[in-house]
Amino acid sequence: MKDLIISTWNPLGGACPHECKYCSTEKLMRYPVIKEKYTGEVKFIEKEMNTNLGSENFIFVCAQHDLFAKEVPESWISRILMYCSKFNNKYLFQSKNPARMHDFLPLFPVGSMLCTTVETNRPELIEEFSGGAIVEERVEAIGELYGAKRMITIEPVMAFDVDRMADLIIKADPDFIAIGANTGLLKLPEPTKDDVIRLIGRLEVSTRNDCIIHIKPNLERIIGKR
């Protein structure tokens, strides 16, 4: 089984309800086909139910959306999860409303990675740039997904308070942590190199031995080569 994401599958269209200011979909809106797909009300792309998802892949489902946003009907979520289960793949499901994942736990394909975003611990930055639940609620919801593989993505990383940020992430007891920098056009308030290095150090010391901490290459812009 491959352990890097090699593809995405996007059976939801319309605008993602969270409207994060840094959303990567914005960069793609110059392409008419993308603009048409991701504009307007949330919609189910019926023809995606004929997509061959192959086997032994690791697929990010709804990479340009949030499958668990409250605006997405329950029946659509169930159909998408059941469709994924037909194929011998692993899947990443990422949400800023992970509390809703609890309602669908029996339907997730075996080996799914359930993820939420923690860009910062600072509420004012979440309020200004990010959508979905407040960050403490995201972390709590992921932490309570007992028995599932849990992931926290710190991307795009924004300015944070080292100890509070580390405590938040450690509390979720994740299996996998990814940390990466903003690659969008919007300028975000970013942490210092020293803060990022201190955060990584605390995570390396305080998470489980089998927790993988993945430093994305784009973080080099802030911390340089490791």
> Applying CB under 6 A, which of residues 9, 11, 20, 153 lies at the interface with ligand SF4?
20
| Closest approach of ligand SF4 to the CB of residue 213, in Å | 22
Nearer of residues 65 and 166 to ligand SF4, judged by Cβ: 65
From candidates 9, 12, 64, 152, binder to ligand SF4 by CB under 6 A: 64
Q: How far is the CB of 19 from ligand SF4 (least distance, A)?
A: 6
Residue 100 lies near ligand SF4 (rule: CB under 6 A): no
Question: 96 or 150: whose CB is closer to ligand SF4?
Answer: 96
Spatial separation of the C-alpha atoms in residues 171 and 116, rounded to whole Å: 13
DSSP 109: P
- Closest CB to ligand SF4 among 23 and 148? 23
Choose which of 25, 57, 85, 88 interacts with ligand SF4 (CB under 6 A).
25
Using rule CB under 6 A, residue 19 touches ligand SF4: yes
2: enclosing H helix or E strand:
none
Task: Provide the phi-psi class of 147: left if phi over 0, else alpha when psi is between -120 and 50, else beta.
Answer: left
In whole angstroms, what is the distance from residue 113 CA to residue 2 CA?
13
Compute CA distances 107 → 75, 112, 213, whole Å: 12, 10, 27
x/- site string to ligand SF4, residues 105 to 144, per CB under 6 A?
--------------------------x-------------
E-only strand ranges, the chain? 7-9, 12-13, 43-44, 58-61, 90-94, 113-117, 149-154, 176-179, 212-215
Residues 6+ apart with CB under 8 A from 154: 117, 118, 119, 169, 177, 178, 179, 180
Task: Please state the closest distance from residue 159 (CB atom) to ligand SF4, in A.
Answer: 18
| Cβ proximity to ligand SF4, 94 vs 207, nearer residue | 94
Stretch near ligand SF4 under the rule CB under 6 A, chosen from 3-11, 59-67, 121-129, 139-147: 59-67
User: Which residue, 19 or 204, is less far from ligand SF4 as judged by CB?
Assistant: 19
38-66: b (≥16 Cβ within 10 Å) or e:
beeebebeeebeeeebeeebbbbbbebbb
Q: How many residues does the chain have?
A: 226
Binding site for ligand SF4 (CB under 6 A): 16, 18-20, 23, 25, 64-66, 96, 131
